[in-house]
């Protein structure tokens, strides 16, 4: 089966009946079996995977945003009933529950296939520091795959899965994307929950997403991103879902480092490809501005030269004390240094970092995003093993500052060297501008006209996918999936995004005399409750048609979600509730209907 696993192709096949979820799971397992065994540390059993496929097949493909989409999980992120090793056999344990992000993706219809290889304890940008072997680079196994999320990247590039989860503390979600011709999304810190993640640097860690294209990365992000009160570092997105700051607009200005601040470590091919990429952005209508990159570089040096290495030591302190021989020699050499710092060193570095943050803030008043190389060069395994510490450090030149300065970023493939090895650039913006960067990445991918990953497939749309021309609407009653008026959404091309709830500031009423029965929701600051909602992506061209069907006393207003963000959705005029039965105690229109029946 020579089939692309990008999400659009799979969705079209499911809707047309060309194949089933079970067919795709069997093909996934066949591709994994025929491929490099060092990509995966653990693959779930065929019986369990096919059982999940059968459960999904019983549902409407339109009801789940990631219906039947196979994905891989880096083996420092928990998947229920599978072992988590962080590429250290002595650390191995079986997870009782999915990590929060995995659970959200699974609820949206995606199927976690198994756990992928990595640089041990997510320490490295190279992909060669694992007792489970070195996953071969998708284009040439003599070259490093990039790390630490090596297996996650290679599995997507070879078309074994549609997307994968990695992590990114210092560049682990971007460097492997560059070296395997993928989109690598490093989300804003705290946007994706870290519950169920083995920490590297707990205050900086991000779960990242590898995908064949920017649209697939965006589809996974929209499902996975939500505030998680169980994660002390989780943050609600302060930008509303329909904010124009989340999307592409014409006339954006981008910053590039001054020529003397660029570093390619003698690699003329990467230099030329970077210049071509910048020229392509300008040809697309973006305006270039040279910036001073020095505060970013200074911040980057703090990551491994400062006290943040102590966080890596904290994360595995019992293991490194009791069984230091269990660690890869290079990993151990890096992490052991974390014990040497003092509290004074930590505060000194914190003060320096805050100064760098302040210095970079004014930059964002004149540019919308930065465009840097993702990496300055690409090493062979032989080169890397001859000088593992320094060459790894070189690969972090454009990545190590990102989480320290609280930025969002997307790695985008843009070309190939004469040796047919991939190159890409990274788009950078302040935190919570992830979707804006993805929309820019999409335009750049179209212009670059590259195949997806190491597959033979290309899929280039003449316009932005419909999901980028849509805005979410929150529904709390008869328009929810499976209820009588849901067809008014689906007939206009709306697609389900996710289930959620309001903030605890709303009251729900059963409106009398409505057919079919409808609720009315009003805001009450002092006596409210959290009410169940569904978010649906409605094409912007269809909003007028949808709103015209809404009868009085209902209307569309701003609704506060449980994570503190706001979205357009159904509200009711206060006067209509005077003769209505309050059903807030049920916290859900569905639950009220069940109780009444």
Any idea which residues carry the catalytic annotation? 74, 148, 172
CA 202 to chain centre: 18
Q: What DSSP designation does 298 have?
A: H
- How many Å apart are CA 160 and CA 151, to the nearest integer? 11
Whether the Cβ atoms of residue 495 and residue 542 lie closer than 8 Å to each other: no
- How many Å apart are CA 4 and CA 458, to the nearest integer? 9
Using DSSP's 3-state secondary structure scheme, residue 408 falls into: strand
Structure tokens at 353: 């970092």
Structure tokens at 286: 């973006």
Closest CA to 448 of 468, 469, 422: 422
Structure tokens at 370: 């930065």
Closest CA to 94 of 85, 102, 103: 85
In order of 258, 277, 309, 427, the CA distances from 288 in angstroms are: 11, 12, 36, 13
- To which H or E segment does residue 272 belong? helix 268-283
- Cβ atoms < 10 Å from Cβ of 581: 13
Whether the Cβ atoms of residue 350 and residue 401 lie closer than 8 Å to each other: no
Q: State residue 210 phi and psi, 5-degree precision.
A: -105, 135
Q: What DSSP designation does 365 have?
A: G
Q: What DSSP designation does 249 have?
A: -
Whether the Cβ atoms of residue 541 and residue 562 lie closer than 8 Å to each other: no
Three-state SS sequence of 51-109 = HHHHHHHCCCHHHCCCCCCEEEEECCECCCCCEECCCCHHHCEECCCCCHHHHHHHHCC
- Cβ atoms < 10 Å from Cβ of 283: 9
- How many Å apart are CA 218 and CA 183, to the nearest integer? 10
């Amino acid at each position: 089966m020579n089939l692309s696993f990008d999400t659009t192709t799979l969705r079209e096949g499911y809707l047309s009946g060309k194949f089933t979820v079970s067919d795709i799971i069997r093909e996934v397992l066949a591709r994994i079996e025929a491929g490099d065994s060092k990509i995966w540390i653990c693959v779930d059993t065929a019986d369990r995977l096919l059982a999940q496929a059968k459960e999904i097949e019983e549902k409407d493909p339109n009801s789940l945003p990631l219906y039947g989409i196979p994905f891989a999980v880096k083996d420092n992120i928990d998947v229920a009933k599978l072992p988590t090793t962080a590429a250290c056999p002595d650390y191995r344990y079986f997870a009782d529950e999915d990590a929060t992000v995995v659970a959200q993706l699974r609820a949206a219809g995606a199927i976690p296939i198994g756990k992928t290889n990595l640089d041990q304890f997510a320490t490295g940008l190279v992909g060669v520091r694992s007792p489970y072997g070195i996953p071969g680079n998708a284009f040439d196994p003599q070259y490093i795959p990039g790390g630490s999320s090596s297996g996650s990247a290679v599995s997507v590039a070879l078309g074994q899965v549609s997307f994968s989860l990695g992590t990114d503390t210092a560049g682990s979600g971007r460097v492997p994307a560059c070296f395997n011709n993928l989109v690598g999304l490093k989300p804003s810190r705290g946007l994706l929950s870290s519950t169920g993640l083995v920490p590297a640097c707990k205050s900086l860690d991000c779960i990242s997403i590898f995908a064949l294209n920017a649209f697939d990365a965006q589809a996974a992000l929209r499902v996975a991103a939500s505030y998680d009160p169980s994660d002390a570092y989780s943050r609600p997105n302060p930008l509303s879902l329909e904010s124009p700051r989340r999307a592409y607009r014409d006339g954006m200005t981008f910053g590039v480092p001054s020529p003397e601040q660029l570093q390619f470590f003698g690699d003329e091919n990467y230099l030329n490809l970077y210049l071509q990429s910048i020229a392509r952005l300008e040809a697309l209508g973006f305006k270039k501005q040279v910036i001073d990159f020095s505060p970013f570089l200074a911040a980057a040096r703090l990551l491994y030269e400062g006290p943040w290495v102590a966080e890596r030591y904290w994360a595995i302190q019992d293991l490194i004390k009791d069984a230091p021989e269990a660690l890869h020699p290079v990993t151990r050499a890096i992490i052991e240094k974390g014990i040497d710092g003092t509290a004074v060193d930590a505060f000194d570095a914190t003060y320096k970092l805050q100064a760098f943050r302040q210095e970079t803030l004014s930059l964002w008043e004149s540019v919308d995003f930065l465009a840097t190389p993702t990496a300055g060069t690409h090493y062979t395994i032989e080169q890397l093993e001859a000088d593992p510490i320094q060459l790894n450090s070189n690969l972090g030149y454009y990545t190590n500052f990102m989480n320290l300065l609280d930025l969002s970023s997307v790695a985008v493939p843009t070309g190939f060297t004469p040796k047919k090895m991939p190159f890409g650039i990274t788009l950078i913006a302040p935190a919570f501008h992830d979707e804006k960067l993805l929309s820019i990445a999409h335009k750049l991918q179209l212009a670059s006209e590259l195949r997806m990953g190491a597959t033979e497939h290309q899929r280039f749309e003449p316009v932005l996918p419909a999901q980028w021309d849509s805005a979410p609407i929150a529904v709390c009653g008869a328009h929810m999936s499976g209820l009588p008026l849901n067809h008014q959404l689906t007939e206009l091309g709306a697609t389900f995004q996710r289930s959620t709830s309001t903030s605890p500031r709303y009251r729900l009423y059963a409106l009398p005399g409505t057919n079919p029965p409808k609720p009315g929701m009003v805001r009450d600051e002092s006596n409210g409750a959290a009410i169940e909602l569904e978010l649906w992506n409605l094409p912007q061209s269809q909003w007028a048609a949808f709103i015209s069907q809404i009868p009085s006393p209902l209307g569309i207003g701003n609704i506060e979600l449980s994570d503190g963000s706001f979205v357009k959705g159904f509200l009711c005029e206060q006067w209509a509730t005077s003769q209505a039965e309050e059903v807030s105690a049920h916290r859900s229109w569905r639950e009220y209907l069940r109780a009444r029946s």
